[in-house]
Amino acid sequence: MNHRFPMSAGPADAGQMERELAYYRRECNTLGAGLLRLQEEQSQAFREARRSRTVAKLIREAYRLIDQSDLPEELGPPMLATVLENTLCDRAALLQEHPRGSGQFTVMHAVGLPAPALVPVLLPVVPAFFFTTSRSRIEPPAYQLTAILRVPYILWSYDETTGTALILGNQSESNVSRPFEDADQEIVEGALSVYIDITLRKRAEVEMREARIMAEEASSTRSRFLATLTHELRTPLNAIIGFSEMMATGSRYQLTAEQVGEFNTHVFKSASHLLSLINEILDYSALARGRTPLTLRWTEAGELVSASLGAASAAAAEREVRLATELPAQKLWIRVDRTRFRQILDNLLSNAIRFTGAGGLVGVQVVVMPDGGLRLEVRDSGIGMRAEDIPRALEPFEQIENPFSRSVTGTGLGLPIARGLAQAHGGSLVVESEPGVGTTVAVLLPAEAMHRGAAPPGGRSAEGSDPASPAGRPAEEAGAKD
């Protein structure tokens, strides 16, 4: 069926023309409106899709940040930049609650905020998720949360486990930044979760790196220790084996009686050295494992020092080193394991004498500290050490070069054992030294381990029993502190 389009033929058809024009106008506007709505729906759909993609994009970009930062603390700013770029918000901040559960938050990182608040923000209620719109009532927590970013429209997420919170904010609800809504929970919680996750990962990575370095150092130290130990043990053993072999029945060596006597002395000295070495290794090992039992008794400090000086006087005389002592007039009692504390003193004196040249001076001084503790120091006028060598001197088998006694080596365990024993007594050991001037090693005991007076606490002599303990009870034992 054919439809003929009405044709205008003259003025009489003007009305028809008007109708036709009106028709086209109407249709044009209707089609235009449809096109506009279609376009807008398409744009809206795309913006919605863009929001859905935001979380995925955020996660993807955030995980890349792990490789771009060295420390977990450095992740905050780039994370916020990533969040802002994806959400197109005006401002954003990461907050940390401290103490956990207190509702007191500090802004750790902020972007877009001219001057982030330095004072903590106290939230009476800490919601896990929250947002404000133009219809929100300004009451807690909206009041406090909007104050953080100083904008009226905020989006908040809080992770109770870590005490971390993320807040995003906009100046207006119009244009690009549409009003926040429930659906935004996915974005803000997603962003916060990712941030927490990458921070934990980075922290774990840093800890793992540090642990690896420590393990490598420990492994290196252990290897060095074992190498030195092997060497230290092998040297006297070689001497023992060698001289014994030479003196053995049927030996090819024709030794004189004098040589036998001399070699026998070498064997004896090497064996003795080996024994003391093994004893010290066992001591050091026990100290390192915290398994050194101490029998603490009140002992007169001056008497202990004198005994130790007396024992060292022969070695000092041999090396032409003078010994001196300076003790307080008043008697001082210290609560120590006498044997172990003597061991500290003997070690320190032995070291001081060995590292001091002929004509030098080694002095022992006992001082009461202002805090009531005791400082017992052994000072020498020997070769001294550089500051950077002091930590090494406190490590096992790490001997500082000694120009006075190249041929006579110590075990290299004396100072580490002395320090371990001082710590086992609840005290400490400090080393001060200056090359060419000398070294001072001080043992510090806490106030509770010292007593001034003619008699020890309890009024009885300390020797043989613990005056602090009821008669007949065994003396107190204390485990060494590592």
* Closest to another protein by CB, 93 or 345: 93
Q: Are 75 and 198 in contact (CB under 8 A)?
A: yes
What is the nearest approach in angstroms of another protein to the Cβ of residue 190? 18
What is the nearest approach in angstroms of another protein to the Cβ of residue 204? 24
With CB under 8 A as the contact rule, which of the stretches 4-12, 39-47, 59-67, 272-280 interacts with another protein? 39-47
With CB under 8 A as the contact rule, which of the stretches 77-85, 192-200, 391-399, 412-420 interacts with another protein? 77-85
Query: Which member of 8, 16, 39, 230 binds another protein (CB under 8 A)?
Result: 39
What is the nearest approach in angstroms of another protein to the Cβ of residue 97? 22
* Closest to another protein by CB, 177 or 270: 177
Report which residue type is found at 436.
G
Binding pattern for the stretch 86-115 against another protein, x by CB under 8 A and - elsewhere? --x-xx-------------------xx-x-
Contact between 37 and another protein (CB under 8 A)?
yes
If you write DSSP's letter for every residue of 328-383 in order, what string do you get?
A: -SS-EEEEE-HHHHHHHHHHHHHHHHHTS-TT-EEEEEEEE-TTS-EEEEEEE-S-
Q: Which of residues 392-421 bind another protein (CB under 8 A)?
A: none
Q: Parallel, antiparallel, or unpaired for β 361-368 and 322-326?
A: parallel
Rounded distance between C-alpha atoms, residue 163 and residue 417, angstroms: 45
Rounded distance between C-alpha atoms, residue 444 and residue 426, angstroms: 9
* Closest to another protein by CB, 35 or 211: 35
Output the 3-class SS for 147-167: HHHCCCEEEEEEECCCCEEEE
Q: Which of residues 157-216 bind another protein (CB under 8 A)?
A: 170-179
Rounded distance between C-alpha atoms, residue 188 and residue 194, angstroms: 10
Rounded distance between C-alpha atoms, residue 75 and residue 417, angstroms: 45
Query: Which member of 59, 69, 73, 77 binds another protein (CB under 8 A)?
Result: 77
Which SS3 state, helix, strand or coil, does residue 255 take?
A: coil
**Angle subtended at Cα 240 by Cα 236 and Cα 245, rounded to the nearest 5 degrees:** 150
* Closest to another protein by CB, 84 or 260: 84
Query: Which member of 6, 14, 15, 36 binds another protein (CB under 8 A)?
Result: 36
- How far is the CA of 441 from the CAs of 118, 230, 307, 325, in angstroms? 46, 28, 19, 14
What is the nearest approach in angstroms of another protein to the Cβ of residue 34? 9
* Closest to another protein by CB, 8 or 172: 172
Question: For residue 163, is it left (φ>0), alpha (ψ between -120 and 50) or beta?
Answer: left
Query: Which member of 15, 16, 19, 40 binds another protein (CB under 8 A)?
Result: 40
Rounded distance between C-alpha atoms, residue 345 and residue 349, angstroms: 6
Residue 310: how many other CB atoms lie within 10 Å: 10
Q: Parallel, antiparallel, or unpaired for β 361-368 and 450-452?
A: unpaired
Query: Which member of 14, 35, 204, 387 binds another protein (CB under 8 A)?
Result: 35
Q: Which of residues 330-369 bind another protein (CB under 8 A)?
A: none
The helices-and-strands tally (H runs, E runs) of the chain is 9, 16
Site size for another protein (CB under 8 A): 41
* Closest to another protein by CB, 25 or 231: 25
Q: Which of residues 13-32 bind another protein (CB under 8 A)?
A: 25, 28-29, 31-32
With CB under 8 A as the contact rule, which of the stretches 78-86, 155-163, 249-257, 285-293 interacts with another protein? 78-86
If you write DSSP's letter for every residue of 119-131 in order, what string do you get?
A: S-EE-SS--SEEE
Name the helix (H) or strand (E) containing 92: strand 91-97
Q: Are 324 and 378 in contact (CB under 8 A)?
A: no
Query: Which member of 20, 78, 185, 460 binds another protein (CB under 8 A)?
Result: 78
What is the nearest approach in angstroms of another protein to the Cβ of residue 95? 16
With CB under 8 A as the contact rule, which of the stretches 56-64, 84-92, 190-198, 421-429 interacts with another protein? 84-92
What is the nearest approach in angstroms of another protein to the Cβ of residue 148? 16
What is the chain's percent helix, strand, coil content, to nearest 5?
A: 50, 20, 35
* Closest to another protein by CB, 57 or 460: 57
What is the nearest approach in angstroms of another protein to the Cβ of residue 27? 10
Question: For residue 103, is it left (φ>0), alpha (ψ between -120 and 50) or beta?
Answer: left
Q: Which of residues 227-266 bind another protein (CB under 8 A)?
A: none
* Closest to another protein by CB, 21 or 241: 21
Give the interface with another protein as residue ranges (CB under 8 A). Answer: 25, 28-29, 31-33, 35-37, 39-40, 42-47, 50, 77-78, 80-81, 84-85, 88, 90-91, 111-112, 114, 134, 170-179
